[in-house]
């Protein structure tokens, strides 16, 4: 349990930075050297290496030496637990977005959604309004 | 795009702490006062309020005054984007966990998984080994 909690901490922390998310996206295309991964980013190589270290600690990247190059590869397995943790909230976000939908289209929210998220439509801050993509 | 990136940063940062994840889990049972939310945690009320502030900034908790109490409610909508971001990696973690499965059961990994995650079995650190729940 402690390990599972720690793994989730490390995974979510690793994902909280846009550069680290970009690095993971790049690795979806396959293994890459550190310098190639760093190329699109407007930051120093040591800064990128620091981000890679956070990803390695979270078990999301494996780094190995091939000749004189450091090659990185994606390790997606820890993301499964993160996805499972978040998915428990699906019913709640569906109810919330349904209510917003009904509000924007002028119809009444379904009873189930109203029961789950009381008064949500009135309280929803304007800046957070967004169309629901379906 | 910038807003979407910022929202993801805030969401994942909010989820990176076990106390904040516990607070969200508590709110699955419905609205609760700040003091009631704080009760199971071994920390001061201000410390819990600080965590709630991070959750509010991420749009995951709404707080409102009811009489003399501060009531908190779950706002799960931002979790949808986080889940969608992570879900793009599903194929990768399935391939990785399949390979591990085949290794542990002594059979050969399927060609597709091998192609996606070369040499992964050999490199997988012992501490990360775990049975795949199905």
Chain B CB within 8 Å of residue A18 CB: yes
What phi and psi, each to the nearest 5 degrees, are found at residue B125? Answer: -65, 145
Q: Which of A80, A86, A97 shows the shortest C-beta gap to B77?
A: A97
Q: Decide if B24 contacts B56 (C-beta within 8 A).
A: no
* Arithmetic mean of pLDDT, B92-103: 86
- Tell me, yes or no, if B81 comes closer than 8 A to chain A by beta carbon: no
CB atoms under 10 Å from CB of A27, counted, come to 22
CA atoms within 13 A on the CB side of B69: 11
ipTM of the complex: 0.77
Instruction: Supply the pLDDT for residue B97.
Output: 83
Strand A32-33 and strand A61-66: the pairing is unpaired
If one counts every other C-beta atom within 10 angstroms of the C-beta of residue B32, the result is 19
pLDDT digits (tens, 9 = 90+) for B64-75: 999 998 999 999
- Answer yes or no: pTM beyond 0.80: no
How sure is the predictor about B18, in pLDDT bands with cuts at 50, 70 and 90? very high
pLDDT for residue B104: 83
Q: What is the pLDDT along chain A (134 residues), one digit of tens a residue?
A: 779 999 999 999 999 999 999 999 999 999 999 999 999 999 999 999 999 999 999 999 999 999 988 999 999 999 999 999 999 999 999 988 888 888 888 876 454 444 444 443 334 444 444 445 44
Instruction: Report CB contact under 8 Å: A15, B17.
Output: no
Statement: residue B40 has pLDDT above 80: yes
- Locate the chain A residue with the closest alpha carbon to B24: A89
């Amino acid at each position: 349990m402690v390990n599972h909690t720690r793994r989730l901490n490390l995974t979510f922390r690793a994902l909280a930075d846009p550069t680290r998310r970009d690095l993971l996206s790049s690795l979806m295309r396959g293994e890459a050297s550190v310098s190639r991964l760093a190329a699109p980013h407007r930051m120093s190589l040591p800064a990128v290496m620091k981000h890679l270290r956070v990803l390695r600690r979270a078990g999301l990247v494996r780094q190995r030496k091939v000749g004189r190059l450091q090659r990185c590869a994606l390790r997606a397995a820890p993301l499964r637990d993160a996805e499972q943790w978040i998915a428990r909230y699906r019913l709640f976000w569906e109810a919330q977005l349904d209510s917003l939908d009904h509000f924007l289209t002028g119809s009444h929210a379904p009873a189930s959604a109203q029961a789950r998220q009381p008064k949500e439509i009135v309280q929803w801050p304007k800046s957070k309004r967004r169309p629901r993509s379906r």
